[in-house]
Structure 1
């Protein structure tokens, strides 16, 4: 079966999951960071190229290879310059779509917690597309690699979200970034997120930093390592 490729790739970036932190009993004082984002009509990747399932705005559309560009449970090939939609049974398949949303990632629902990377799909109007209407709408696909390693797993050192079990280090300039908890990353881990709570007061006494996670429990309690 012929593969369908993204119209063009805007860029490909490693998944550096910077998080917003505020110092608490930290010897280095307050730390702060930024969040990462992460592509189809035109594809821009946030991290290395999966298998969980999740719901998204594309869930009500026809699914399966060729029905919608990178719909839920469809797969992409490896890519650094471009990403190609391929059958998941293909030897070229590298990652699976676990959630698919329309619009910009900054405005839409967050990807599932263990997403490995995100593809941003910029709106295009090619001469041929998945449903023949000449348009591929703007959106984003949350991707999970078919094979390990999985940077989105707790402690994996990457992914578009910071979750319980992740480790971070001081990146300087008041910023922090994720790194692998097992020490195999380029930077040594300095703090580990051990719990997600509704308010800072709910964190244990051993908390060294408060990490902004978002969601129903937006505060991550991080202890020094």
Structure 2
């Protein structure tokens, strides 16, 4: 999985890594696996003091958008573009999944700046689940993006036994071929009209999809 490092120079900025397109577009396999619940992960950073500046990108805080960096800004600022809806320490692969309607994920690299928000001299590695302050929301059902594929999303064949999300309204780069209509614990519980099984993860890891 590839990504690009984005680093800011201001005190409130921390080097972040935007997850690759395969994550943002919900790349999934053609057939669902009978995996279990999301793995238990690190303690959410929401247990720390909140409020702008107390912890870098804590829950309910906001970030700006930029071509070279994402920085924490006051949610009342005209630069505010997205809000943190969940925040976890550690690596994305080891931690809990972001909420279903997350628009994108910011991976925060561990740093030890000369001055940081909570005064301990370090910003721990973690990731922030972000939701845009304004529509459209790619993480909404049928929106064509977000880090997770959920019920209501549409997908197209990406080759190699994989599918990727695309907007159900046909406005995406690829036209939709299937829509995920339900999520179940195993394929045997999908409706008889199911034409495709999509791996979703979570407690109901199999998505039942029909042609659109």
Give TM-score scaled by structure 2 length. Answer: 0.86
Contact 1:103–1:140 (Cα < 8 Å) also in 2: yes
| Bigger shift: residues 91-100 or 13-22 | 13-22
SS at match of 2:188: helix
Structure-to-structure mapping, 1:14-33, within 5 angstroms: 14=21, 15-22=24-31
Q: In the alignment, which of 7, 27, 34 is matched to residue 14 of structure 2?
A: 7
Contact 1:118–1:143 (Cα < 8 Å) also in 2: yes
Structure-to-structure mapping, 1:95-106, within 5 angstroms: 95-106=82-93
Pairing 1:70–2:57 present:
yes
Structure-to-structure mapping, 1:108-147, within 5 angstroms: 108-147=95-134
Structure-to-structure mapping, 1:110-189, within 5 angstroms: 110-189=97-176
Equivalent in the alignment of 2:177:
190
Deviation at 1:78, TM superposition (A): 0.9
SS at match of 1:114: coil
SS at match of 1:65: coil
Alignment RMSD (CA, Å): 1.8
Give TM-score scaled by structure 1 length. Answer: 0.81
Gaps of 5+ in 1: 24-31, 33-55
Deviation at 1:4, TM superposition (A): 5.3
Pairing 1:80–2:67 present:
yes
Deviation at 1:120, TM superposition (A): 0.3
Structure 2 CA distance, aligned partners of 1:22 and 1:165?
17
Gaps of 5+ in 2: 1-9, 34-42
Contact 2:12–2:53 (Cα < 8 Å) also in 1: no
Structure 2 CA distance, aligned partners of 1:216 and 1:117?
22
> What per-residue deviation string (whole Å, max 9, x for no partner) do you get for residues 75-110 of structure 1?
000123200100000000000000000000110000
Query: What is the aligned length?
Result: 192
Equivalent in the alignment of 2:3:
none
Q: By percentage of residues, which structure has more helix?
A: 2
Structure 1 CA distance, aligned partners of 2:180 and 2:161?
18
Structure 2 CA distance, aligned partners of 1:108 and 1:75?
21
> What per-residue deviation string (whole Å, max 9, x for no partner) do you get for residues 36-80 of structure 1?
xxxxxxxxxxxxxxxxxxxx6112211110110000000000123
Cα–Cα, structure 1 residues 6 and 12, in superposed 2: closer, same or farther, change >3 Å? farther
Q: In the alignment, which of 205, 209, 212 is matched to residue 222 of structure 1?
A: 209
